Structure 1
């Protein structure tokens, strides 16, 4: 599959055709205009009215692919990728930008994750059975989300209270001893009180066979997720909602094999555990004459236990073997406040609609690492504590220039302060003032069409390289003293987009072309001085980077029985001046986790009123696994199938994900770890799920 400027031109013309078709039908009522509201936007507009590249999916879209976890959903989005290195896909990249792992050092994410407005960035996501809407923002979104949205943001909204009793129970069973049991219920208690409750339990053996232990569950999935919402409306102008989340994840981690397949030899399999609880108080007050007050105060507490068998083998494999483990115990507590005023005046010509907000956060990160110290030749531990405070002010103006032309401008100023301390007697204070902005010119020829030009600036915070500092005392690693900390990264984005929706919803097309400049881009570096098992990891600042490409999303209702969906992306990336600490020059090379193209083709075929056949084909080009070596993933195609039958309140489905049984790499390392071949360097990969076959049943009332 090849992309070229002709594809861009064709896609833009298709979107313009949709706008013309919508305009031609404008004599009809507006009852059919797309009504899906973007929950993450400051003004909560529809996706077709919002300048910027954005994808929105609902519960029905999740059912189409029998999705059970976020990493099974992300492949359908243009220019979105992810990596694992854990029991689940946890690290997300948008347009080739994003982290791939987190070990010793605490990293400000390039792509954040919000669930009901609560910041889960870096923690990953468990249950998604109660998701009402999922939004993928691409490109810098600093004005809205701040430092966690350098490259984009994932925003999830779960189901909430209803005016009457509603509920759903579902059960899914699949190969690899997998099952998922989920239930949701919502109701009104009185005319002022309402609630919703959701629970989900998911289990699986985890697609790995450990030959040494003769077990098939060392990489297992065992996750319990619960969410509760309690809504209260004391007056006509005030709405309050209390949100509560609970996650109990007890997963195994045994994913890498010396034989570079799905069979492992570990005698001490790892773990990927998480216990988290969160509360949020949301408020919406409409009693002011000039503005609406919206805000949220949230708290989250999380404890993670992540570890692995470093040698991926057992004692007695080879005379030159080693046998060690690495374990990371993390505690995180955060308190976040985000309140804003949104003007309620209708935007008359020349008069701006405005938003004015304040954001404050306090986050505590505590780490205890238990590892084998090769210099001391004994078990050792390392502890660190990072205290970070953020304070930001942000504003956005939407000024009509003509009846069809609007200028939107936004600005955010953010200050962060870090206090770092560790068991190696390092004490470092970091602080910086960062700013983000956006400016878009929006031309809306009719309510269903938008053509925009967008310029935006995003940022992410710097930090401390605690791992480098801890190892700098070794004479052979004294060059790490120059990597004590790393600077913030800045991203500039220029974008042109066209969005068009036919009034009868038969055609929806969105196209975005972008060019991004990265300054002081943060890249992961490693030093391996003796070619043994000891590595020193650190974050480095490369000089610059370039990322540019195109994203296309279309939906066509061919007839009442057939709907077609397509999303496609083309991406070019380049590292700036980047020479590793080992002297390897990667200047000008493509960036990691940045496939040149990706696509998702899907069809919904209504065989009858009750019988639906869904088919989807997803593909992605190969890409580099790291900015520090030249090993690449394999290109792949995934075929997903689903046949469902609706019988009144019941739905039954048989499905298959990855029906062609492709081996898809989701994390790759390049080094020597096998004593049987003298520790010859190899590409070691973690693979996503193989062919899955399952049955699902749900009852909705």
Structure 2
């Protein structure tokens, strides 16, 4: 029987109990002096206040913001050598990140998507200074010029729009400053790793025009050995980027910020390691089962990406209470993948994919801030042209010597358009009690025009199950959605904050670029109702912080994958699901020089109705005989099974101890994250799972009080754990992509 964890009703009981404890602990109510008192407690060695902008109505204190979220400063990320979204997993509760080729598969609270191909969208959005990043292969861009990152858990569609059904990751850059400041950082490590970052900011016209420029470069050798003679090893990376900003303040009430960025990468990152022995009719020449850092690939995967973007932000204070904002943005993203999709040394199945995305977005909004009401209202427009080419080359081999080769060419041309209007506000009935209501209306339109050509030396060998070719198709679909939010919050006193909310989330429908039937070209949107209750609390003069969140999700029309043939994936709406969860986040500062934190996340996820889950060919031997598997239709009844990348339990521990020195501070830091078993397929067979594992990262360094320099020794995955970040359903052999091995680096930083 599956373990059941706290439901919303239980969460309400916990909240009521904690409210009573808080009233007993400190009977005073919030007052205008609370912020000053809290700052005094922080200055006295307590936990620092954190300022966030998650509500989009201005700056608020994290502990008084009714959203479950993690906030990571740029300095904290840099000191941990966290370079992109993958590194947030060790620092954020209830977050998992998988990877398919260069595409990010981000999951928050068990909500995410492995459907990240042309025509579909991620389920967790990434926003760079308010600009939505549409393509999943652009979500792994390295952090450059980051002030902080806000990871918002749960549906955020009312404020952040379509596809934020699982959550939103806000990348917030540093604004150019009116004084000359800068930073240079060099990190060198094993695998011939070199990482360089630099940042400079300062005035052009003091008080009126400021500018900043930042850049980064990362390279390292391969992590994974390829035992096929003459073929390159896997895991090497060579990438870099630039980011510039220009800020103009012609008056106290007007601010204009222009941002531009560029990036380029060339990596071999998909090491398809064998996780079970081959199940094909003939033995393979090589077997690497049991060692995730050794592969046998005749055509090692290669991912090449490049992109650039420009954005113009305009802020105008119309009066002391009302601010107008315009955000206009354009982004180009390109992706080129070549590789071996059979995951063996046999030249059997090769794939090549190109994708070019051009996106434009425009948002106008008004923000109102009074003593009683904080509100935002706006209009949003998004347009994207996403053109791709997908080539699959299936050749005769020792496994199919009598077969003839087959070559598929799929050329989708996809146009997406989204229009939305939204409003959300929080009204304070009293100084302590606030109510929130919001509504967003979204209208999405997607059009696909594609050609699908499959050729063979002998057309008879294509098989009866393969539709006739060539195929030329087009489809246009329009989707409408209302995504409301209702919430209530109560500031018991300056140390205890309670909140609860009900939110509807929406993920846009999409188009299948591999479908060969006009009726199957499109799939509908996903929808979710999310219910959440939370407590944010500070104890012992801000030396202990405890935040608790309980939530329940009801999911309908889940977009799921169906495997057509090796390397070809289709998507359909085929499931309902529900999730219950509990998160406990704690930070303690028992003495001024010691900071400790511990986070616990519990998840109970289940497909409510999923009777027709597709079973990849490589998994057939592992589900045969299972009463949930129909050998005639080759479909699996996954109802009651757990969702993908949703471990029942995950926890993290971290700590930092500072030692005061005559001319600086020495420190030691450690981070450990552990998660229980998680599955990558709805079948929930063990072969589709990653067993429980933990990752330990360490740091030892010195920060000088003179000259602004620091040095640090950084170890990531110091126990050298072998684990999978994704499990691949295609190929001749059950296979997966391993996480990074142990890396050790020395980091030198100079601030001025």
Same topology, TM > 0.5: yes
Tell me what 1:414 maps to. Answer: 442
Tell me what 1:556 maps to. Answer: 588
1:697 aligns with 2:740: no
User: Bigger shift: 335-344 or 281-290?
Assistant: 281-290
Contact 1:15 1:510 in 2 (8 A): no
Correspondence list, 1:165-564, <5 A: 165-190=180-205, 191-213=207-229, 217-258=233-274, 259-260=288-289, 261-288=292-319, 291-314=322-345, 321-347=346-372, 352-372=373-393, 377-423=405-451, 424-469=471-516, 483-502=520-539, 504-528=541-565, 534=566, 536-564=568-596
Correspondence list, 1:52-201, <5 A: 52-86=67-101, 90-103=104-117, 105-121=118-134, 122=136, 123-190=138-205, 191-201=207-217
User: Bigger shift: 625-634 or 272-281?
Assistant: 625-634
Q: Show structure 2 runs of 5+ residues with no match.
A: 40-47, 275-287, 396-402, 452-470, 615-633
- Once the two structures are TM-superposed, the CA of residue 218 in structure 1 deviates from its matched residue by 3.5
Contact 1:269 1:309 in 2 (8 A): yes
- Once the two structures are TM-superposed, the CA of residue 617 in structure 1 deviates from its matched residue by 1.3
- Once the two structures are TM-superposed, the CA of residue 303 in structure 1 deviates from its matched residue by 1.0
Q: Secondary structure at the match of 2:409?
A: strand
Contact 2:15 2:498 in 1 (8 A): no
Q: Secondary structure at the match of 2:679?
A: coil
- Once the two structures are TM-superposed, the CA of residue 700 in structure 1 deviates from its matched residue by 0.6
Tell me what 2:277 maps to. Answer: none
Change (3 A) 1:51 1:360: same
Contact 1:18 1:509 in 2 (8 A): no
- Once the two structures are TM-superposed, the CA of residue 17 in structure 1 deviates from its matched residue by 6.0
Deviations 1:133-186 (A, max 9, x none): 001111111111111201101111122201101111011111111110000010
C-alpha separation in 2, matches of 1:153 and 1:20? 36
- Once the two structures are TM-superposed, the CA of residue 451 in structure 1 deviates from its matched residue by 0.3
Contact 1:594 1:624 in 2 (8 A): yes
- Once the two structures are TM-superposed, the CA of residue 672 in structure 1 deviates from its matched residue by 5.8
Deviations 1:54-77 (A, max 9, x none): 111112321453323321222221
Deviations 1:418-472 (A, max 9, x none): 1110013211010011111110011112344310111000101111222122xx5
Q: Secondary structure at the match of 1:267?
A: coil
Tell me what 2:698 maps to. Answer: 641
Tell me what 1:688 maps to. Answer: 739
C-alpha separation in 2, matches of 1:341 and 1:572? 39
Q: TM-score, normalised by structure 2?
A: 0.84
Contact 1:550 1:570 in 2 (8 A): yes
C-alpha separation in 2, matches of 1:651 and 1:17? 44
- Once the two structures are TM-superposed, the CA of residue 536 in structure 1 deviates from its matched residue by 3.9
C-alpha separation in 1, matches of 2:266 and 2:62? 37
- Once the two structures are TM-superposed, the CA of residue 282 in structure 1 deviates from its matched residue by 0.6
1:624 aligns with 2:679: yes
C-alpha separation in 2, matches of 1:667 and 1:520? 24
Q: Show structure 1 runs of 5+ residues with no match.
A: 315-320, 473-480, 529-533, 675-681
C-alpha separation in 1, matches of 2:18 and 2:235? 46
Q: Secondary structure at the match of 1:662?
A: coil
- Out of 36, 39, 49, which is 2:64 matched to? 49
- Once the two structures are TM-superposed, the CA of residue 673 in structure 1 deviates from its matched residue by 1.5
Contact 2:116 2:122 in 1 (8 A): no
- Once the two structures are TM-superposed, the CA of residue 287 in structure 1 deviates from its matched residue by 2.4
C-alpha separation in 1, matches of 2:593 and 2:519? 63
Correspondence list, 1:643-658, <5 A: 643-647=700-704, 648=706, 649-658=708-717
Change (3 A) 1:660 1:149: same
- Once the two structures are TM-superposed, the CA of residue 543 in structure 1 deviates from its matched residue by 3.4
Q: TM-score, normalised by structure 1?
A: 0.90
- Out of 562, 580, 584, which is 2:613 matched to? 580
Contact 1:12 1:511 in 2 (8 A): no
Change (3 A) 1:687 1:101: farther
User: Bigger shift: 688-697 or 27-36?
Assistant: 27-36
C-alpha separation in 2, matches of 1:503 and 1:364? 55
- Once the two structures are TM-superposed, the CA of residue 266 in structure 1 deviates from its matched residue by 2.1
C-alpha separation in 1, matches of 2:77 and 2:24? 31
Change (3 A) 1:437 1:421: same
Change (3 A) 1:13 1:207: farther
C-alpha separation in 2, matches of 1:4 and 1:522? 26
Change (3 A) 1:542 1:400: same
Tell me what 1:677 maps to. Answer: none
Q: Secondary structure at the match of 1:492?
A: strand
- Once the two structures are TM-superposed, the CA of residue 284 in structure 1 deviates from its matched residue by 0.9
Q: Secondary structure at the match of 2:100?
A: coil
Contact 1:202 1:224 in 2 (8 A): yes
C-alpha separation in 2, matches of 1:230 and 1:21? 49
Q: Secondary structure at the match of 1:81?
A: strand
- Once the two structures are TM-superposed, the CA of residue 353 in structure 1 deviates from its matched residue by 3.3
C-alpha separation in 1, matches of 2:533 and 2:236? 44
- Once the two structures are TM-superposed, the CA of residue 4 in structure 1 deviates from its matched residue by 5.7
Change (3 A) 1:92 1:20: farther
Aligned positions, number: 665
Deviations 1:375-423 (A, max 9, x none): 9834442111111111100001212223311110000000011111001
C-alpha separation in 2, matches of 1:22 and 1:35? 19
Contact 1:66 1:642 in 2 (8 A): no
Change (3 A) 1:26 1:430: closer
C-alpha separation in 1, matches of 2:577 and 2:249? 49
Tell me what 2:278 maps to. Answer: none
Q: Secondary structure at the match of 2:323?
A: strand
C-alpha separation in 1, matches of 2:715 and 2:16? 34
C-alpha separation in 2, matches of 1:510 and 1:22? 17
